[in-house]
Structure 1
Amino acid sequence: MIASRLARCFAVSALLVGASFAGAAPASATGTDGACPEVGGVTVVVDFGDLGPQPLVRCAPGTPANGIAALQEAGIDVAGSQKYGLAVACRINGKPGPDVESCAGMPSATAYWSYWHASAGGTWQSSQEGAQTAKPAPGGFEGWAFARPKSANDLPSPPRVPPARQASSPSSAPADQGSSFPWGVVIGAVVIVVVGGAGIVVARRRRAQ
């Protein structure tokens, strides 16, 4: 029990690391749906848990400066608390609503967003620093999971979406190119015959002269 309490305190302390900026941050429109390709970007996974929406997976292009920037550049809305600003991510895409969390100060110990990291194909690891100071790994995964533990002693669970890119779909069979009859060979033969015939006609006319 002591270990779990220490882990909870550590997670809360990590969220408070970094500068505090009040209010909500507008989302960027540069993000795209789905995981990023292997060549770059940071994939952001948001698991809303029992709040209702299906998990969200979007790609933040380039190299976001921190975890909050990764959310914004993936095109996901994030709002901080009135007291701590974006040192605490209180709402993501408007969740949870004010009936669950007022966002006046620190979120409730039994209703809050947990923050995770992973490499592609790896396993989720709870972040050891706040999202305003954590530097996303290029090509890596950033995870957010809404935690609603039964007590403050319960540790949060990672996002239910694994940090893996979708396998590339096999290339489709080439489209039907029409009949397999060798028209090219036939046309080439016809051209040779016509040119040859024209040459014979010209030669005969020259002899007749």
Structure 2
Amino acid sequence: MAALLVTAGLSGASPATATVPGKGTAGYCPEATGVTVVVDFQDLGGDTLIRCAPGPQADGVAAMQNAGLDLAGVGKYGLALICKIEGKPADQSCSGMPPESASWSFWTATDGGKWASSQVGVQGWKPPAGSFEGWSFAHNKSFQDYPPPRVAPVRKANAPVPAAASADSGSSGFPWSLVIGLVVIVVLVVAGVVVGLRRRRAAR
């Protein structure tokens, strides 16, 4: 039971979009003050999820929650043992201990370091500022063979704001292009009329 508690306390992975609104931000933490949470679904399917829990975090569970992840704990142990992240695995009951061959593994790392299987439960881990917390689903593997997340714990710049958003911010919404086009047309018409009148006068 003690071994199972440690194993279950070290686990995790989730889909490409967090489901808890108003919590965390997508991508790596932009500064070395928050905790970047990486969730690798492995063969559950879905893209690896990378979220930032900004600022100091009390423990590993707090980091996951503040990153915007939906969590389900195991029976009477609650979130001390993680059963599901973002509803996965969907077919797993959380009333009892998850099987060793189908459970989340819990990993930690410093920025630019290497993933290491955590030696403490998720509630016992106190994340250093700028660190990484990783969750990777292990299927049909023994505890010794649990795979780490396939994303390296290296903080990277996040994707820039879409061009559409920046264009909107610089636009007042007034159709200047239409106005300018109409002015050009009017100028051309007036110029044509003036040229025509001069030609008529010259022909007299």
Q: 1:145-188: CA deviations, max 9, x gaps?
A: 001134x365201000110112589xxxxxxxxxxxxxxxxxxx
Q: Following the alignment from structure 1 to structure 2, what is the Cα–Cα distance between the partners of residues 75 and 36?
A: 13
User: 1:160 aligns to what?
Assistant: 150
State the identity as a percent: 52
In the alignment, which of 19, 22, 36 is matched to residue 29 of structure 2? 36
Larger radius of gyration: 1
User: Higher mean Cα deviation, 85-94 or 160-169?
Assistant: 160-169
User: 1:96 aligns to what?
Assistant: 89
User: 1:62 aligns to what?
Assistant: 55
User: 1:192 aligns to what?
Assistant: none
Q: Which runs of 5+ in 1 are unaligned?
A: 1-7, 18-25, 170-209
CA contact (8 A) 2:7 2:105 kept: no
Pair 1:153–1:124, CA change in 2 (3 A) = closer
The letter for the 1-side match of 2:145 is L
In the alignment, which of 103, 122, 126 is matched to residue 135 of structure 1? 126
Pair 1:153–1:143, CA change in 2 (3 A) = closer
Structure in which a larger fraction of residues adopt strand: 2
User: Higher mean Cα deviation, 69-78 or 154-163?
Assistant: 154-163
CA contact (8 A) 1:16 1:84 kept: no
User: 1:47 aligns to what?
Assistant: 40
Pair 1:28–1:141, CA change in 2 (3 A) = farther
Q: Number of paired residues? A: 150
CA contact (8 A) 2:21 2:68 kept: yes
CA RMSD of aligned residues (A): 2.3
The letter for the 2-side match of 1:75 is G
SS of 2:81's partner is: coil
- Moved beyond 6 Å, runs of 4+: none
Structure in which a larger fraction of residues adopt helix: 2
Pair 1:82–1:121, CA change in 2 (3 A) = same
The letter for the 2-side match of 1:13 is L
Q: CA deviation at 1:67?
A: 0.5
The letter for the 2-side match of 1:50 is D
CA contact (8 A) 1:45 1:143 kept: yes
Q: 1:107-159: CA deviations, max 9, x gaps?
A: 11100000000001100000001001111111000000001134x36520100
